[in-house]
Amino acid sequence: MKENLIKQDIFYVGAIDAERRIFDELIPLPDGTTYNSYIIKGSEKTVLIDSVDPTRKNVLFDNLNKANIEKIDYIISQHGEQDHSGSIPFLLEAYPMVKVITNTKCKSELMDLLLIDEGRFIVVEDGQEISIGSKTLRFIFTPWVHWPETMVTYVPEDKILFSCDFFGSHLTMDKPYPDNPEDIYIPAKRYFAEIMSPFRSVIRKNLEKIAGLDIEIIAPSHGPLHKGKDFIFGCYKDWASENVKNEVLIAYVSMHGSTEKITDYFIKALSKRKVEVKAFNLADADIGEIAMALVDAATAVIGSPTVLAGTHPKAIFAAFLVKALRPKTKFLSVIGSYGWGGKMVEQLADMLGSVGAEILEPVLVKGFPKEEDFKMLDSLADKILQKHKEIGLV
Ligand code: FEO
């Protein structure tokens, strides 16, 4: 177990799932993922921090055997989602005396989701500490990283923060730490964008709440660990801020080439004006990349043809994604084509209204784009540049 030793008497016992390619049947996993689980051996009690996805429970049990863990006193359940809690019922069977330490909300979730008996829990409050002899566990509630019950655990003797989904990344590596912190920038940003960006105001409060901790190691529940907090805290402060960049996200789909031609022209028009463009063809787009682009883009544009008098279903999906992620995007618009009319703009405006961004005059083209349509696209590009200037991005 030497390679899994994180600190004196703290071991990694989690599982790597390099082949997994989708999470929640929604989120792409280009680099697989890991379900991190840790053993802490205090002089009086032995503790397991989180379990693993139930599909990998045998790996967890193998690792516990290899580490000669014959007795576990407490399982700390920091988050009810099954990729961390799903093997707890099997642990409760294997270790009949073990108790699950968690908060009231998580206890309720674990009883509902995993049918765990109420008698197996010890409930803790925010800031409460439990001694396991030579080490102390301090529980800090950090709601919405990722569910409302999520909490983190700090061990002051080792200056280690077990952060659960907070600061995690879907990334498999053959070592606990990246060679350079920058190596995990994209996976960590993707992870933030997919599951935490809608809750960024709470994330900012959580960052403040733990900012004063003396941290040598952050041990999340997915992906590599972090040495120190400066790099990943800096990333999170940027991503969770309300700051946007001089960037336009374009998510489009085309059936017969008209919307593609419109989009190609529009990308060039924005680029000529030195506005950065991140364009995604919805025919095969990775929604994690769209989510990442939404962390920065000042403007988002949906491009769609008209289908059955309305928006193409793939563009509807993109609009739904934008709405669900509640991005900091300040301006929205629509480009696309139609044959004989339809309700595309009304449909998208209705869906995106709750985002709270200013809607810029859409450009809808009848059939294939012509000279006057390109002028309208130039006007929309001018308008976007002007709006970006008005908010100080240029
Ligand atoms: Fe990794 Fe929200 O569970």
Question: Which residue reads 């566990």 in tokens?
Answer: 137
pLDDT tens-place string over residues 30-46: 999 999 999 999 999 99
Atom of ligand 1 minimally distant from the CA of 222: 1
Which ligand 1 atom sits nearest the alpha carbon of residue 165?
Answer: 1
From the CA of 273, how far away is ligand 1's center (Å)?
41
Residue nearest to atom 3 of ligand 1 (CA): 81
Taking the C-alpha atoms of residue 77 and residue 74, their distance in angstroms, rounded to an integer, is 9
CA of 324 to the centre of ligand 1 (A): 18
**168 Cα nearest atom in ligand 1:** 1
Task: Give the per-residue pLDDT at 3.
Answer: 58
Q: Are 303 and 251 in contact (CB under 8 A)?
A: yes
The yes-or-no verdict on residue 119 having pLDDT over 70 is: yes
Confirm whether pTM is higher than 0.75.
Answer: yes
CA of 150 to the centre of ligand 1 (A): 9
Distance of CA 391 to the CA centre of its chain: 27
The torsion of the CA quartet 318, 320, 325, 330, rounded to 10 degrees, works out to 80
Nearest CA owner, ligand 1 atom 1:
165
Cβ neighbours around 45 below 10 Å, total: 18
DSSP assignment letter at 357: P
Q: Which residues line ligand 1 (CB under 6 A)?
A: 79, 81, 83-84, 146, 165, 221-222
| Whether residue 175 has pLDDT greater than 90 | no
Q: Give me the phi and psi of 325, to 5 degrees please.
A: -80, -10
Closest CA to 204 of 168, 234, 237: 237
Closest CA to 236 of 288, 309, 314, 295: 295
Lowest mean pLDDT of 17-26, 98-107, 275-284, 325-334, name the range. Answer: 17-26
What are the structure tokens assigned to 239, written together? 């991503």
Output the CA 82–ligand 1 centroid distance in Å. Answer: 7
Nearest residue to 221 (alpha-carbon basis) of 110, 59, 61, 82: 82
CA gap 32, 37 in Å, rounded:
17
pLDDT tens-digit series, residues 369-392: 999 999 999 999 999 999 999 999
Nearest one of 336, 352, 355, 354 to 344, comparing CA atoms: 336
Residue 342's pLDDT band (boundaries 50, 70, 90)? Answer: confident
- 72-108 pLDDT tens trace: 999 999 999 999 999 999 999 999 999 999 999 999 9
Strands 46-49 and 129-131: unpaired
What is the band of 1 on the pLDDT scale with cuts at 50, 70, 90? very low
What token pair was written down for 111?
């009883």
CB–CB of 13/60 below 8 Å?
yes
d(CA 220, ligand 1 centre) in Å: 10
